[in-house]
């Protein structure tokens, strides 16, 4: 379980949720600093503890229009650099590198930021590190946990990051599709009993639905991965068709 905690992303994005006086003070301080000296704030955020980065993620989710996306994106990408992923996978410790990266995952998943060419280029460059951290977090915060609620929440965080990167963004999607091991990774999430089905299914649908057979074969990788993808797809389709009453939208997304 994360030391800093990780409120569900759907809660973070809920603008009607009341903000505490302490959180409001943090928001005001961050906004003032960003307005006055954005470059200095970027450098400060690089040294920020995990709790400070989580506050930044919360602030951005609640007040995204007031924040300069460039500054926020630079911060989140800095802390999710693949070079920072530890060689050994250990449980999180307060304010360790994984906690700081986790806080930035929450931020990256809270808002669609790839809406201009510069952001897309930056996200494409950052993608290898983001995916490396996603796999690290799967081992650290999914496969090694027993609490279903914690697992579901953590899968949600991981999936929301990927979902925000690939939705309505063909350039980033093309890069994600070409990533070695992407099919195996999301198939593991897809079949996990605690996985939030809508979010994971959206990613699988986006990765595979519009792909050609050759692209699907490339995504799936080796023969073993292709077999896993095919078996899971058939099982999911069979289960969706057998539902009574059958839900056409669910079948199409399956």
Residue 34 sits in which domain range?
1-148
Q: Does 164 map to a domain?
A: no
Distance in Å from the first CA to the final CA of the chain: 30
Q: What is the pTM of this model?
A: 0.77
128 and 249, same domain (yes or no)? no
Q: Domains in the chain: how many in total?
A: 2
Per-position pLDDT tens, the chain of length 254: 455 554 443 344 443 355 677 767 776 777 777 667 777 878 888 999 998 899 888 878 777 677 777 788 889 999 999 999 999 999 999 899 999 999 999 999 887 665 678 888 888 999 999 999 999 999 999 998 888 889 999 999 999 999 988 887 888 999 998 898 888 898 888 878 788 777 887 888 888 776 655 656 665 555 665 566 666 666 666 766 776 665 555 445 44
Peptide bond into 138 cis (omega under 30): no
d(CA 111, CA 69): 10
In a domain, 174, yes or no: no
């Amino acid at each position: 379980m994360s030391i800093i905690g990780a409120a569900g992303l759907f809660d973070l994005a809920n603008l009607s949720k009341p903000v505490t006086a302490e959180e409001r003070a943090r928001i005001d301080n961050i906004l003032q600093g960003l307005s006055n000296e954005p470059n200095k704030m970027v450098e400060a955020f690089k040294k920020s503890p995990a709790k400070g980065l989580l506050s930044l993620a919360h602030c951005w989710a609640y007040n995204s229009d007031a924040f300069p996306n460039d500054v926020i994106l630079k911060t989140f990408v800095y802390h999710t650099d693949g070079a920072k992923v530890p060689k050994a996978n250990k449980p999180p410790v307060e304010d360790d590198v994984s906690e700081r990266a986790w806080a930035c995952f929450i931020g990256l998943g809270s808002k669609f930021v790839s809406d201009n060419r510069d952001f897309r280029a930056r996200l494409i460059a950052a993608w290898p590190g983001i995916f490396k951290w996603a796999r690290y977090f799967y081992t650290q915060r999914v496969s090694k946990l027993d609490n279903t609620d914690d697992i579901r929440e953590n899968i949600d965080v991981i999936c929301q990051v990927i979902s925000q990167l690939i939705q309505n963004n063909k350039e980033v999607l093309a890069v994600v599709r070409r990533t070695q091991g992407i099919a195996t990774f999301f198939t593991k999430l897809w079949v996990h009993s605690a996985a939030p089905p809508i979010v994971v299914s959206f990613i699988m649908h986006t990765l595979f639905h519009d792909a050609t057979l050759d692209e699907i074969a490339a995504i799936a990788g080796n023969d073993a991965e292709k077999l896993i993808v095919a078996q899971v797809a058939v099982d999911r389709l069979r289960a969706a068709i057998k539902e009574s009453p059958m839900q056409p939208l669910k079948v199409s997304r399956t």
